[in-house]
Amino acid sequence: MTAADASAPDLARLTGLRSGKGRFYPELRLTAQRLDRVIAALDTISRALVQTIEGPENLVRAVAEAARATLDAEWVLLALADGALPEASVRHLILDSAGVAYAFEGLGSAADPGAALPDVVLNRLNDILRGQLAQFRLPVIEKQHAHVPIELDGTVIGAFAAWTPPHRALDGTDAMVMRILAGQTAVALQNSALFTKSVTLLAQSEARNAELLATQRELGAAQRHQVLNSERHRIARELHDSVAQTVLSAGMQIEVCRSEIGHGAGELAGRLDLAKELTRSATEQLRSAIYALNQPADAERSSLAAMLGQLATVHMPEDLRVTLRVDGPSVELPGDVEHALLRIAGEALFNTAVHGNASRALVRLSYRIDAVALSIADDGTGDPDTLRLILRMAEAADVDGRHRGLANMRARAAEHGGTFDVYRSRIGGVRVVARIPYCPEGRRT
């Protein structure tokens, strides 16, 4: 042997092949076949283990099928000992040579084992389930049988077993495949159980969140009812303390004048009688409105549109017709924004009823892309230019307390980053418009 021969790498040690020409090619073919089988086995194992997120049943089926296909096995058994890995819902699975699955419990689509299982498979299953694994703590690789323990954190929690037909002898490559499958199965089963648990917890969290949102909506509805009731009582007090008293005083003055002129005034007496009748009718209408306003609001009405509809009906005398329109899909608004809009609508309708000399009013609630808009228009005798002047004067200095209503409406809109403007109404009178941008809680998603 030359020095070059002595320093050359040992071909047999590197490749597992002898360099003798008589056996080189047969060993090369055998090694290539084993390499192909190993690559195919690893591919099968990887495709099996990615079934973790598909649930424990699919995972166990994929792992057992990987072993059956790689070993050409007649029977494959995968089982966990009782009490081990309690989160795993699938405890055992048996496959025959055709890939038919058998299980006594925990597997929804498994066939009934009946008398189809051989005794050697049933006995091994009972041993594993009962935790009698002392004799199998080390892998057992025989000619037609392999048994590999499944370990987790150094503890044997189950086993993986396979039986092959006479023509399929097991070797070291098969032992490696079995060990890889057994080593990864416990981790994959635990991950699958944790994934299933996380999905359950997520569903429970979503249910809790839905309950919380429902509670928030109920609280918002209760707040809106409280706002409406407060507004009703405020309007009732305004009507009683100002308008009703003024109408009663006017009626008394008419009565005094009527008594002083006697019965000889002719046409003038008739007009005074008519004025007296009108003031009496107005007083009765005001009393009816005050009574209605002091009654509790309908508990079932919770949306902003419903609140505005009720607010419009309880405000108005009989000779003023009010229409409510809602544009766009409704957006959940914070309670303080709805409160502000309700108060703006109440103040505007009160002004229309008392000062506007109107026969018709239109309340429009518009849900736009980035803001909610509320407008109240009438066909009365109000002048937008005069009202804008009064609004500027009221904001500059409170020169006339009777005109603070416009300034209050603008202030309520401004508190939420909005605007308040006065325009000429298309139906002839005044139109006031409040625009409030959506805050984060009420913005569209």
Q: What is the pLDDT of residue 417?
A: 93
Which of 365, 351, 373 lies closest to 429 in space, CA to CA?
Answer: 351
Q: How many CB atoms lie within 10 A of CB 169?
A: 11
Task: Return the residue matching tokens 């079934």.
Answer: 51
CA angle, residues 195, 196, 200, in degrees to nearest 5? 115
- pLDDT tens profile 323-342: 999 999 988 888 788 888 98
Q: What is the mean pLDDT of the segment spanning 347-370?
A: 87
Q: What is the mean pLDDT of the segment spanning 77-99?
A: 82
- pLDDT tens profile 281-295: 666 666 656 655 565
CATH 3.30.450.40 in the chain: give the residue spans: 26-198
- pLDDT for 110 beyond 70: no
Q: What is the pLDDT of residue 366?
A: 94
Q: How far apart are CA 139 and CA 84, in angstroms?
A: 19
pLDDT tier for residue 211 given thresholds of 50, 70 and 90: confident
pLDDT tier for residue 445 given thresholds of 50, 70 and 90: very low
- pLDDT for 147 beyond 50: yes
Is domain 26-198 given the CATH code 3.40.50.300 in the classification?
no
CA 433 to chain centre: 33
Q: What is the pLDDT of residue 444?
A: 45
Least confident of 88-97, 104-113, 199-208, 365-374: 104-113
Q: What is the mean pLDDT of the segment spanning 65-87?
A: 84
- pLDDT for 10 beyond 50: no
Q: How far apart are CA 111 and CA 4, in angstroms?
A: 65
Q: What is the pLDDT of residue 107?
A: 64
366 phi/psi in degrees, rounded to 5: -120, 120
What does the DSSP 8-state code read for residue 143?
Answer: S
Q: What is the pLDDT of residue 436?
A: 95
Give bridge partners of residue 100 from the DSSP assignment. none
Which of 279, 276, 286 lies closest to 255 in space, CA to CA?
Answer: 276
Report the SS3 class of residue 365. strand
CATH 3.30.565.10 in the chain: give the residue spans: 300-444
Q: How far apart are CA 293 and CA 228, in angstroms?
A: 10
Q: How far apart are CA 239 and CA 242, in angstroms?
A: 6
Fold of 300-444: Heat Shock Protein 90 (3.30.565)
Q: What is the mean pLDDT of the segment spanning 139-162?
A: 86
Q: How many CB atoms lie within 10 A of CB 132?
A: 12
The mean of the pLDDT values for the chain is 76
* Positive or negative torsion for Cα 9, 12, 17, 22: positive
Q: How far apart are CA 54 and CA 379, in angstroms?
A: 67
Q: How far apart are CA 157 and CA 149, in angstroms?
A: 8
Q: What is the pLDDT of residue 13?
A: 46
- pLDDT tens profile 371-392: 999 999 999 888 889 888 888 8
Residues 153-165: b if buried by 16+ CB within 10 A, e if exposed: eeebbbbbbbbbe
377 phi/psi in degrees, rounded to 5: -120, 150
Across the beta sheet with 145-152, the strand order is 101-102, 92-96, 75-80, 155-163, 145-152, 140-141
Dig out the tokens for 32 from the structure.
Answer: 């290539």
Range from 68-72, 163-167, 258-262 that averages highest in pLDDT: 163-167
Q: How far apart are CA 350 and CA 227, in angstroms?
A: 16
Higher-confidence residue of 376 and 264: namely 376
Q: How far apart are CA 331 and CA 21, in angstroms?
A: 85
* Type of residue numbered 214: A
Q: For residue 253, what are the CA distances in angstroms to 276, 287, 350?
A: 9, 20, 26
Give bridge partners of residue 144 from the DSSP assignment. none
Across the beta sheet with 371-378, the strand order is 321-327, 360-367, 371-378, 430-437, 419-424
- pLDDT tens profile 12-31: 444 454 554 555 566 666 66
- pLDDT for 301 beyond 50: no
- pLDDT for 90 beyond 60: yes
Q: How far apart are CA 182 and CA 150, in angstroms?
A: 5
Cβ atoms 334, 441 nearer than 8 A? yes
Q: What is the mean pLDDT of the segment spanning 190-214?
A: 80
Q: What is the mean pLDDT of the segment spanning 195-205?
A: 80
Cβ atoms 50, 136 nearer than 8 A? no
Q: What is the pLDDT of residue 262?
A: 64
pLDDT tier for residue 443 given thresholds of 50, 70 and 90: very low
Range from 133-137, 193-197, 216-220, 340-344 that averages highest in pLDDT: 340-344
Cβ atoms 422, 388 nearer than 8 A? yes
Name 50's Cβ contacts closer than 8 Å, sequence gap at least 6.
none
Higher-confidence residue of 125 and 61: namely 125
Q: What is the mean pLDDT of the segment spanning 435-445?
A: 65
Q: What is the pLDDT of residue 295?
A: 57
